[in-house]
Structure 1
Amino acid sequence: MTRRHFITTASALAATSAFAAEPRLRIGQIGTTHSHAGGKMSALRSLKDLWEVVGVTEPDASLHTSVKESAIYGGLPLLPEEELLAAPGLKAVVVETRVEASCAVALRCLQAGKHIHLDKPGALGHAEFKAMRLEAEKRGLTVQMGYMLRYNPAFELLFKAVREGWLGEITEIDAAMGKLADAATRKDIGSLPGGGMFELGCHVMDIIVTLLGKPEAVQPFSTPNGSDGVKDNQMAVLQYPKATAVVRCNHTDPFGGPRRRFNVTGTEGTLEIVPLESGKVNLSLKQPRGAYKKGSQSFQMEVPKGRYDLEFVDLAKVVRGEKSLAWNAAHDIALHETVLKAAGVWEKP
């Protein structure tokens, strides 16, 4: 393995030091019940040169004691939502409630003039999500959806490969994001009409829509494995003019984590990432491209230890006005529609 096989994120993380001379950005979090909530707070508190966490809001009063006593939130003020949104200098809010409430919370944050990081999938209903997302555009505020694969170095390489034509015209995408769900997870996805595809499969559909845009048609399939009615084994086929994308989300797979994958094949090559967040890449090219040779090669890319760190490094740049977020309202709205269709719960507004 040579150094040329690595695209490191060291420069992105090192960029945090460039902010050290500037005041930190003030941010808060509403909700602690989303599956990513604790990880997002840990990331924010680790990026001390960028962010100052002013406090956390937990709408469920029965959780207040556990939040106060937790290692993740310990030492942070537990504030009512109105007080958090009125905090002097507050620039952004991380919304980590259950999905049933997340869009309404996000809208209130936007109406208070705050940028938001909204965890996936964003809303149960499309009309509500679309209205919230367009409100942000109207107000000139940023909504960063919590799809962490966007910032993974292997996926950044994939974006570059597709953008620069390394793979030619894309003809197929094959993706899987499964796990073996415990009783609590089965209860959570069972409470959602779209099941596991809606709650988890959305991560890989974000990448597909980033690469190919909104599909012409989506065909959902559900073949439940359990006897409890939970949609635990789903598949969707996304149809494009010259490509198909197949997404599987299987919550009964004991080896779901290691098998999570994303494979893109085109007329000039193929790029596979497996497991999804590992940084392990299999690349095959008809012609040499950049630092990569003709033929097949496998390599390991360096992945930051903090799963969510790069999301909040990027958000800091956006809030400071140094750049625009790469994913706009049109993308997020098209993605949300696609996710609902893939989960078999699309109802045209």
Structure 2
Amino acid sequence: MKVAQIGTKHGHAAGVYQVMLEHPGVEVVGCFEPDKDRQSYCIDSGAWDDAVWLDSIEDVLENPEIVAVASEGANRESLAHTEAIVRTGKHCFYDKPAGDNFHRFMRVIEDAKSQNLEVTLGYMFRKHDGFQRMANWIRSGFLGHVFQIRAHMSTWLPEESEGGQHTDRRGLSYHRGGVLYDLGGHMLDQIVWMMGRPERVTPFLQNATSTTRDFMDNTLAVLEYSNAIVTVDIAAMEPQPTARRFEVYGTEGSAIMEPFEPADQLRLVLSEAKGGYDEGVTMIDLQDRRRYVDTFAAFVDTIENGTPSLRSLEHELLVQETLMRCTGGLAG
């Protein structure tokens, strides 16, 4: 199966291109970067030594042998790229989040549905050992009634950086919600898979330290369900290594991961023994899986063999809608 990539400005663009190169079932035709200064920077950086550079976007979109395309442009440009990819009848591995215009993304998804195309958002924890265990426990009722989830996924970002990626504080100030817009979808992808659509969302967005004054660097979103509360907090100035943490609390048990990247251990607490686990505290060793390898493999398998998608197109819409509610782009 022949694939290609459009864009290099997403923070994970180089990693996704490498994952595609290493997949035994695909042939990577190449990458088109519309910003030639950015392309020159990539070539000089050494991080793209294996890349084949295409001259125009038509080299991707008008090549009938290319079946699927990775959309890896900056967040401010990637929705337009994805729209073009789907319009020309190609499957799309679309790195998160899905732009700033939710209604435009809805139209892209409707177009994909009408053509029976796969659109997979690049949320990197869908095959994460710990998140998969937690989701299975929540969805099966193993932890009883889940009444609270806390998600913490902070980072450290420079005010400005070279390379023209727009992944620094100045670049991300373009987006309403700042760092919550950039990283929140990873947590919301898990949360709405576990809990469904929240009834109400309340964002708290603050500039606490950044000299780029319109960049929201200290953020919190509260998601309210009829019988549960979920909080997602993300900041842009936490010292490394960051304490990325995910906590689930139910009436029959709890589960905590810290850190969840790299995956290490999960602390499971049960009020009574079940499922092969003892009553009380059990520390479970987790497999640390490389980002995107399994999710891209599942994307390819869906296209070639018709296996069910990891997430439906309706789920992709729900994640983006919830993110827009959290950042203030849609009403809560």
TM-score by length of 1: 0.87
Alignment of 1:112 onto 2:88:
yes
CA distances 1:248-282 after superposition (whole Å, capped 9, x unpaired): 01112214x43111111111111112112232211
| Cα offset, 1:131, TM superposition | 1.1
| Cα offset, 1:152, TM superposition | 0.8
Residue in 1 that maps onto 2:266: 281
**Counterpart-to-counterpart distance in 2, 1:72 and 1:296:** 46
Residue in 1 that maps onto 2:236: 251
Alignment of 1:333 onto 2:303:
no
Deviates more, 1:170-179 or 1:291-300: 291-300
Residue in 2 that maps onto 1:18: none
| Cα offset, 1:301, TM superposition | 1.1
- Residue 324 to residue 79, structure 1, CA distance change in 2 (3 Å): farther
- Note if contact 2:30-2:51 (Cα within 8 Å) is conserved in structure 1: no
For structure 1, which runs of at least 5 residues remain unmatched after alignment?
Answer: 1-24
- Note if contact 1:99-1:121 (Cα within 8 Å) is conserved in structure 2: yes
| Cα offset, 1:237, TM superposition | 0.3
- Note if contact 1:29-1:56 (Cα within 8 Å) is conserved in structure 2: yes
| Cα offset, 1:180, TM superposition | 2.0
Residue in 2 that maps onto 1:4: none
Alignment of 1:192 onto 2:167:
no
**Counterpart-to-counterpart distance in 2, 1:68 and 1:259:** 34
Aligned AA (1:203): H
Alignment counterpart, residue 321 of structure 1, candidates 301, 305, 320: 305
Aligned AA (1:210): W
**Counterpart-to-counterpart distance in 2, 1:58 and 1:73:** 15
Alignment of 1:155 onto 2:131:
yes
Alignment counterpart, residue 72 of structure 2, candidates 86, 93, 96: 96
| Cα offset, 1:31, TM superposition | 0.1
SS at match of 1:253: coil
Residue in 1 that maps onto 2:293: 309
| Cα offset, 1:45, TM superposition | 1.3
| Cα offset, 1:244, TM superposition | 0.5
**Counterpart-to-counterpart distance in 2, 1:75 and 1:104:** 23
- Residue 75 to residue 41, structure 1, CA distance change in 2 (3 Å): closer
Residue in 2 that maps onto 1:300: 285
| Cα offset, 1:88, TM superposition | 4.2
Q: How does 1:159-238 map to 2 (within 5 A)?
A: 159-184=135-160, 185-226=168-209, 227-229=211-213, 230-238=215-223
- Note if contact 2:270-2:278 (Cα within 8 Å) is conserved in structure 1: yes
**Counterpart-to-counterpart distance in 2, 1:134 and 1:176:** 33
SS at match of 2:126: helix
Alignment of 1:266 onto 2:250:
yes
Aligned AA (1:63): R
**Structure having greater relative contact order (Cα 8 Å, sep ≥ 6):** 1
SS at match of 2:305: coil
Higher helix share: 1
Aligned AA (1:127): H
- Note if contact 1:67-1:74 (Cα within 8 Å) is conserved in structure 2: no
For structure 2, which runs of at least 5 residues remain unmatched after alignment?
Answer: 161-167
Residue in 2 that maps onto 1:241: 226
**Counterpart-to-counterpart distance in 2, 1:34 and 1:161:** 33
Alignment of 1:72 onto 2:48:
yes
**Counterpart-to-counterpart distance in 1, 2:280 and 2:292:** 33
Aligned AA (1:285): L
**Counterpart-to-counterpart distance in 2, 1:73 and 1:115:** 26
SS at match of 2:69: strand
Aligned AA (2:26): W
| Cα offset, 1:75, TM superposition | 4.7
Alignment of 1:133 onto 2:109:
yes
TM-score by length of 2: 0.92
Alignment of 1:83 onto 2:59:
yes
| Cα offset, 1:42, TM superposition | 1.3
Residue in 2 that maps onto 1:11: none
SS at match of 2:141: coil
| Cα offset, 1:296, TM superposition | 0.9
| Cα offset, 1:347, TM superposition | 5.5
- Residue 162 to residue 125, structure 1, CA distance change in 2 (3 Å): same
Q: Matched residue pairs, number? A: 321
Work out the percentage of aligned pairs sharing the same amino acid. 29
Q: How does 1:45-60 map to 2 (within 5 A)?
A: 45-47=21-23, 49-60=24-35
Aligned AA (1:38): A
CA distances 1:216-235 after superposition (whole Å, capped 9, x unpaired): 00000023212432200010
**Counterpart-to-counterpart distance in 1, 2:322 and 2:303:** 28
